[in-house]
Structure 1
Amino acid sequence: MSKLEAVHVRSSTLPSGGATRVHVEATAGQRWHAFRQDPRVLWSGLAAVHIAVFLLMLPMMLRGELGGDLPVYLHWTTEAFQGGTWPVFDYDWVYPAGALVPVLLPGVLGANLYGVVWLVLIAAANAVALQALIRRGRLLRNQTAAGWWVLTVGVLCPVDLLRIEGFTAPMVVVGMLFLGSRPRIAGLLLAAATWIKVWPAAVIVAVIVASTKRWIVILTGLATSVGVSLVVVLGGGASHLTSFVNQQNGRPLQIEAPLSTPWLWMSMFQVPGARLFHDSALITEEVTGPGDAWMVANGTWVMFGVMAALVVLLAIATHRLSALVHPMGKEVDLVLVGALGLATAFIVFNKVGSPQYMLWLTPIVAVGLVLRPPDWKTPALLMLAVAILTTLVFPTFYFALIALHPLVLILLAARNILLLVVLGWSVAKLCHAAFVRPAVPLGTRPFGEPVRSTSY
């Protein structure tokens, strides 16, 4: 019996008014589902987010002001184009050399149009990612992932549209979706994204460990890296090529980092020696207090240790399932879960914490949601809550956070706990694949329900 037939049978036993009501409710539900799945609605939502941010920034831009990190980017651009002093080529820089492209490109038409060009480029990048998600969603007749992507872009728009991660996130979405059909393009996009911000390296590591396309991605990534390095060396910046690594050494605990939580609360309770301070060089808020010296000195090693453990766990799961599951069935799940685990560990155990770091996770979850909808509902809901709490902390109540308002500290703590839950979800999935999952027949996949033609 079909669903429509079931509704008809139930309706026939009710009074005529009741039967009419059931029919109207069913029709309304179908219409709402169709509305949410309509690509025109998704495109309209993405356009509305970008237009709204543009209109909010327009008065600032008319006054010669910019929001987010754009003033810093414009400063670097002005130094390069007018002063002849280029980041990486002439001095150490906090970003990898590839970040020069998105930072400097909006300045080609002049400083007055920097903000406008930046927003146009960000809109184009997000549009490409949305098109890729919609196209893949059509295979399942399910556009939940595309809708989720538009929703998170809207929630995180203060950082998504005004910081450099806004470029790397769409690149990772497209790169991961291309891994099966166009692995060379995937390798190029993931390597290029890593040369803009380091975090996509977590995705590359997961691909290398768990994907049958690893050698194509490795060779393409190496070629991309050689090309970037050659440009910097020929431009006289050989000594600054890896400066972005050293720029993070010895940094204190940033207030939004999960590792900083104990010292943030110590500062609120006025524990002797605990306090917030502003780092004028990096333009960040840091925290210090009793016992922080060890974490400042060793926090990075803790982070790498956790990530190394996750790589080992992913390798065990890959080795175990390789004898049981056809590669085209297993690798999607392992790459996705491994990438999410590594990227989340990169955030949870990092001394530095910024709101834009949530853009390290949303691309992976979006791809997981479009390739494996049943499995990725939980992290999708968790990350939506993380995105909302992140925006409440920054920029909504950021000055209250600096003032150590207890309610905002609770919001931040809740966000950080949810990040731990996301990490725990990833670790549980990997442990299940590595140690718990019994032998499965050839051709089935390690997690969730079969999905047609969406394997890598």
Structure 2
Amino acid sequence: MMHTVTKPRIGGPGGAVAAWAATRAALLVFVFQVVRFPGQVVVHDVEDIYRGWYPVLRTGAFPAHDVAWQYPPGAAVPLLAPGGLPFLGYASAFFVLALLADAVVLGALLRDARHSGRMAGVWVWIGGTTLLGPIVYARYDVMVTAVAVPALLALRRRPALAGALAGFGGLLKLWPLLVLIGAPTSRTLRRSWAAAAATVAVLLGLSAALMRNSMSFLAFQQHRGTEVESLGAMVFHVARHLGWHGRVEMHYGSMEFLGPHVHLVSAAALGLSVLGVCWLAWWRLRARRFTAATPYDAAFTALLVFTTTSRVISPQYMVWLVGAGAVCAAARGTVLRLPLLLTLAAALFTTLEFPPFFSHVTAGDAWGLLLLGTRNALLVTASVMSCRRLWAATVPARTPGPTRPEPAEPDPRSTVLTP
């Protein structure tokens, strides 16, 4: 009697895990510098900056006099964590922990795919982070994403857990709090934000009690200028060719423009971010049609808006967008497939402009302007398109009066909207 052997589907979980393992082996080869990635050394932050902060943090204090320290107090957790693997050395232990955080995101998406039957999110995460290259493991943003993605996936069914995770993520790097913006009902919104606020309050209290200078990051964050990769920087990249007299220097931890009118462009970027907050708040008040995909579409849109309008668009910020975009892609009924594809294209151009051709970006020559201008144009287009599509999908053309949000469409992962 013959038995047929069922081979695992290439596009199924087995194929995804194999692809993840292969691409992650390549990333590790680069961060361990077995093979040098083109351009500048991408592991500088880990080997020099993070490792330099490590002994200070171990004494129970934050780096109060280092202008590069611009992170919330929760950042001490991933920066101290490599000390738990002393046999590897600081940088090696950090890369291993980054790999584990990557695996956490993959596991969360695979678990979600098992319930939904949709593998798109898994492949977006694998593909998007591969496009970003070794920067994924050379900064601690992947560890923050490993908290934010489970928070977003839990939002519809377990809002208190989602809020607690987002609150913890917010103390790592602020942006995970944005994943709560699309909570599908007022009750879910209240429960998630209450849990987030409680988590932030408790952890802030603990950090203040256990470590000195826990809020010192605020003093340095407010003095940041216009970083050379940001949207606002395009003004000065072009202006330099028209006679503007300014310069590019390391300033408050990143390469920034310094010179006449820089403060005006920085203020304009902050103004755009404030307008982004106002638009999101207005959308939340007007939204009436909530589907199973709406919480994820809203989170991705919010991250796009804040990343694009920021005074600083560091390459590692794209890890946030790939993580939120992966959750979006996994949702049945998402309206943001095209903005997500544009974001993945922006990830590729981000890797080209840093580190391989970063010298061209800082010089502002034609090649640098082409790469950076394309990346930023993709982000702007994706942001505007996401806002328009989210609004069109959730806000009725005419709203006669306050109504309750419509129930979410049935989703294979859950038969109820909220607990």
Q: TM-score, normalised by structure 1?
A: 0.79
Alpha-carbon offset, residue 141 of structure 1: 2.5
Alpha-carbon offset, residue 193 of structure 1: 0.8
Alpha-carbon offset, residue 234 of structure 1: 1.6
Give the fraction of aligned pairs with identical amino acids, expressed as a percent: 25
Q: 1:18-417, aligned counterparts within 5 Å?
A: 34-36=9-11, 38-59=12-33, 67-70=43-46, 71-81=48-58, 84=59, 86-87=61-62, 93-110=69-86, 113-207=89-183, 212-235=187-210, 237=212, 240-267=213-240, 269=241, 271-279=243-251, 281-282=252-253, 284-317=254-287, 321=288, 330=290, 332-372=292-332, 375-417=335-377
Between Structure 1 and Structure 2, which shows a larger proportion of helix residues? 1
Alpha-carbon offset, residue 412 of structure 1: 1.0
> What is the CA deviation profile of residues 257-289 of structure 1, one whole-angstrom value per residue up to 9, with x for unaligned ones?
11211111222x15231332232x41x211245
Instruction: Name the residue aligned to 1:436.
Output: 397
Alpha-carbon offset, residue 151 of structure 1: 0.8
Q: What is the identity, as a one-letter code, of the residue corresponding to 2:391?
A: C
Structure 1 stretches lacking a partner, 5+ long: 1-30
Secondary structure (helix, strand or coil) at the match of 1:359 reads: helix
Instruction: Name the residue aligned to 1:26.
Output: none
CA distance in structure 2 between the aligned counterparts of 1:112 and 1:452, rounded to whole angstroms? 43
> What is the CA deviation profile of residues 23-76 of structure 1, one whole-angstrom value per residue up to 9, with x for unaligned ones?
xxxxxxxx9x9312x212211222223322323333579xxx981420211110
CA distance in structure 1 between the aligned counterparts of 2:87 and 2:220, rounded to whole angstroms? 27
Secondary structure (helix, strand or coil) at the match of 1:247 reads: helix
CA distance in structure 2 between the aligned counterparts of 1:185 and 1:130, rounded to whole angstroms? 19
Structure with larger Rg: 1
CA distance in structure 2 between the aligned counterparts of 1:308 and 1:130, rounded to whole angstroms? 33
Q: What is the identity, as a one-letter code, of the residue corresponding to 1:276?
A: V
Secondary structure (helix, strand or coil) at the match of 2:118 reads: coil
Instruction: Name the residue aligned to 1:7.
Output: none
Question: Relative to 1, partners in 2 of residues 1:382 and 1:112: Cα closer, same or farther, differing over 3 Å?
Answer: same
CA distance in structure 1 between the aligned counterparts of 2:291 and 2:267, rounded to whole angstroms? 37
CA distance in structure 2 between the aligned counterparts of 1:243 and 1:308, rounded to whole angstroms? 28
Alpha-carbon offset, residue 438 of structure 1: 8.8
Q: Is the 8 A contact 1:206 1:311 kept in 2?
A: no
Q: Is the 8 A contact 1:67 1:162 kept in 2?
A: yes
> What is the CA deviation profile of residues 83-121 of structure 1, one whole-angstrom value per residue up to 9, with x for unaligned ones?
x36216898841111110001110234496112221221
CA distance in structure 2 between the aligned counterparts of 1:211 and 1:434, rounded to whole angstroms? 16
Alpha-carbon offset, residue 374 of structure 1: 5.4
Question: Relative to 1, partners in 2 of residues 1:143 and 1:211: Cα closer, same or farther, differing over 3 Å?
Answer: farther
CA distance in structure 2 between the aligned counterparts of 1:444 and 1:272, rounded to whole angstroms? 55
Instruction: Name the residue aligned to 2:3.
Output: none
CA distance in structure 2 between the aligned counterparts of 1:57 and 1:310, rounded to whole angstroms? 38
Q: Is the 8 A contact 1:263 1:289 kept in 2?
A: no
> What is the CA deviation profile of residues 191-241 of structure 1, one whole-angstrom value per residue up to 9, with x for unaligned ones?
11110001112223443x85642232223222321221222222253xx33
Q: What is the identity, as a one-letter code, of the residue corresponding to 2:164?
A: L
CA distance in structure 2 between the aligned counterparts of 1:438 and 1:79, rounded to whole angstroms? 56
Q: Is the 8 A contact 2:145 2:320 kept in 1?
A: yes
> What is the CA deviation profile of residues 322-359 of structure 1, one whole-angstrom value per residue up to 9, with x for unaligned ones?
xxx5xxxx164442233222222212221122111112
Q: Is the 8 A contact 2:109 2:327 kept in 1?
A: yes
Secondary structure (helix, strand or coil) at the match of 2:156 reads: coil
Question: Relative to 1, partners in 2 of residues 1:85 and 1:241: Cα closer, same or farther, differing over 3 Å?
Answer: closer
Q: Which has the higher contact order (CA 8 A, sep 6+)?
A: 2
Secondary structure (helix, strand or coil) at the match of 2:122 reads: helix
Q: What is the identity, as a one-letter code, of the residue corresponding to 2:395?
A: A
CA distance in structure 2 between the aligned counterparts of 1:411 and 1:251, rounded to whole angstroms? 24
Question: Relative to 1, partners in 2 of residues 1:44 and 1:286: Cα closer, same or farther, differing over 3 Å?
Answer: same
Q: Is the 8 A contact 1:169 1:362 kept in 2?
A: no
CA distance in structure 2 between the aligned counterparts of 1:372 and 1:273, rounded to whole angstroms? 51
Secondary structure (helix, strand or coil) at the match of 2:249 reads: strand
Q: What is the identity, as a one-letter code, of the residue corresponding to 1:217?
A: S
CA distance in structure 1 between the aligned counterparts of 2:123 and 2:88, rounded to whole angstroms? 34
Secondary structure (helix, strand or coil) at the match of 2:222 reads: coil
Alpha-carbon offset, residue 131 of structure 1: 1.6
Q: Is the 8 A contact 1:274 1:287 kept in 2?
A: yes
Structure 2 stretches lacking a partner, 5+ long: 1-6, 36-40
